Structure 1
Amino acid sequence: MDRLQRCVIETASNEWLPSPAQGVWRKLLERESAEQGQVTSIVRYEAGTFFPEHSHPQGEEIFVLSGVFEDENGSYPAGTYLRNPPGSSHSPGSTVGCELLVKLNMFDMNDQQQIVLDTTNTDWLPGLVDGLSVMPLHEFASKNSAEHTALVRWQTGTRFSTHRHMGGEEILVIEGTFEDEFGQYPAGTWVRSPDNSKHQPFSNEGCLILVKVGHLARLLDGTSLDK
């Protein structure tokens, strides 16, 4: 949880840990405290598993990595991006099984937007350099921060200039291998870089990454808890 530090976790090599619900497993990436507070994790639902109804006091953000995620509001296949605002509740599960990236209790309390987006049927936009494509998923501006979440696709051999991330950056590598001057990050790697950090990213192989920027400074000063 020390968001002043750069953190790299290759989730493919991590063990699955049991959750309070039978058939639901987790790989914890960051956690404020046991079963409450802010948490980022990779979650796996075994086929036929459903979690009891529960609420998300400060919101829930999900990206479906594989399988089909479900709740009483619908079914969400791989590639679906979900945002459930503060105060929302549901009974999640999966008939066929699924894996998800889940972030809990990190919303600005003024961010009440509900999002269900099938990224497999959403247009890509050109990026800032050749070989880069971007799919915006969510943005929210507040007094102290401007947060953006997007999918970014890197074609083979794409390179980007050195740049800073005001407010920090969080990446999950979904496909291929992402790289910068600090290392190589294969599919499944989670990278969190602190506020005002900089790097020069590239991908020799090509990759698809989920990127979130601008949120870490707000979480550090606690404004996610404002009501």
Structure 2
Amino acid sequence: MLVNADFSRRAIVAPHEYRWVASPQAGVERVMLDRLGGENARATSIVRYAPDSAFPHHPHPGGEEILVLSGTFSEENAHYPAGWYLRNPPGSSHRPFSHEGALVFVKLWQMTLGENGRVRIDTRDPASWQHRRGREVCPLFSNDAEQVRLQRLAPGETLFTGPVHSAELLVLTGDLVAGDPSYERGSWMRLPTGQYPEIAAGARGATLYIKTGHLADMAMEA
């Protein structure tokens, strides 16, 4: 299966364009944002757990990255409410579930094989945030292959001050303006290398998930 598989082009999915499809597990649905392959695929998705839904224990040979958007996501004996960021490295395994229901942003098979550490960050803890070059940033992960963070933008503030070598964004609060369209909370963008001076926070400002660097070796797949 190929979904937004041409990495040389801009891809955008707004919440009104979400197409929910069932997963192999009852009570768990997903919106496929991009995907290369079948059930065990390189994939980026929004996943919705109904109350008291669960997956059986399973491995993640290519690793898994999770940002909890709402509700509470759980695995084993740990419970992560909205705002928690998780990285389970290649070769890890878990049994994910949610008692109250949850909405999570998930990326699969997108880690380097040498990554071996687990990451757990509460992005709603003020101590997780830093001031960098006049901006509020919550660092989540960084290595030679990718940089991941949350970032807050003031109303009207431009996201990128120069050319970027690919980027991926998820709007968490507020809205983002890209030319004429405005993209609200839940909007996802994947940008190829280029300049994007038209992308700025809307009148309410914005908080964004941002990943850069990870698409350097991606070729056009479709």
Q: TM-score, normalised by structure 2?
A: 0.90
Aligned to 2:136: 133
* 1:97 and 2:101 matched: yes
Q: Check whether the contact 1:154–1:208 (CA below 8 A) recurs between aligned residues.
A: yes
Aligned to 2:211: 212
Shift of 1:16: 1.5
Q: Check whether the contact 1:64–1:76 (CA below 8 A) recurs between aligned residues.
A: yes
Bigger mean CA deviation after superposition, 170-179 or 117-126: 117-126
* 1:34 and 2:42 matched: no
Report the RMSD for the aligned CA atoms in angstroms: 1.7
Shift of 1:73: 4.4
Secondary structure of the 2:163 match is strand
Shift of 1:33: 1.6
Q: Check whether the contact 1:12–1:189 (CA below 8 A) recurs between aligned residues.
A: no
Secondary structure of the 2:124 match is helix
How many percent of aligned residue pairs carry the same amino acid?
Answer: 37
CA distance in 1, matches of 2:110, 2:148: 13
After superposition, the C-alpha distances for 1:63-100 in whole angstroms (9 at most, x for unaligned) are 00000000114111100000000000001010000000
Unaligned runs of 5+ in 1: 222-227
Aligned to 1:124: 129
After superposition, the C-alpha distances for 1:104-132 in whole angstroms (9 at most, x for unaligned) are 00101112121011111133222434xx3
Secondary structure of the 2:41 match is strand
* 1:186 and 2:187 matched: no
Choose which of 89, 92, 100 in structure 2 pairs with 1:88.
92
- Give, as a single letter, the amino acid of the residue that structure 2 aligns with 1:74: A
Shift of 1:165: 1.5
Choose which of 180, 198, 202 in structure 1 pairs with 2:200.
202
* 1:17 and 2:26 matched: no
Secondary structure of the 2:51 match is coil
Aligned to 1:224: none
- Give, as a single letter, the amino acid of the residue that structure 1 aligns with 2:133: L
Q: Check whether the contact 2:10–2:191 (CA below 8 A) recurs between aligned residues.
A: yes
Secondary structure of the 2:100 match is coil
Q: Check whether the contact 2:63–2:89 (CA below 8 A) recurs between aligned residues.
A: yes
Q: Check whether the contact 1:86–1:107 (CA below 8 A) recurs between aligned residues.
A: yes
CA distance in 2, matches of 1:138, 1:33: 26
Cα distance change on mapping 1:136 and 1:108 into 2, 3 Å: same
Unaligned runs of 5+ in 2: none
Secondary structure of the 1:197 match is coil
Choose which of 89, 113, 117 in structure 2 pairs with 1:113.
117
Q: TM-score, normalised by structure 1?
A: 0.88
Matched residue pairs, number?
A: 213
CA distance in 2, matches of 1:184, 1:69: 29
Q: Check whether the contact 1:181–1:199 (CA below 8 A) recurs between aligned residues.
A: no
Shift of 1:160: 4.8
CA distance in 2, matches of 1:50, 1:95: 9
Q: Check whether the contact 1:58–1:109 (CA below 8 A) recurs between aligned residues.
A: yes
- Give, as a single letter, the amino acid of the residue that structure 1 aligns with 2:195: K
CA distance in 1, matches of 2:111, 2:160: 30
Shift of 1:31: 1.1
After superposition, the C-alpha distances for 1:178-210 in whole angstroms (9 at most, x for unaligned) are 12347422111100001x222123213201110
Q: Check whether the contact 1:64–1:77 (CA below 8 A) recurs between aligned residues.
A: yes
CA distance in 2, matches of 1:137, 1:160: 18
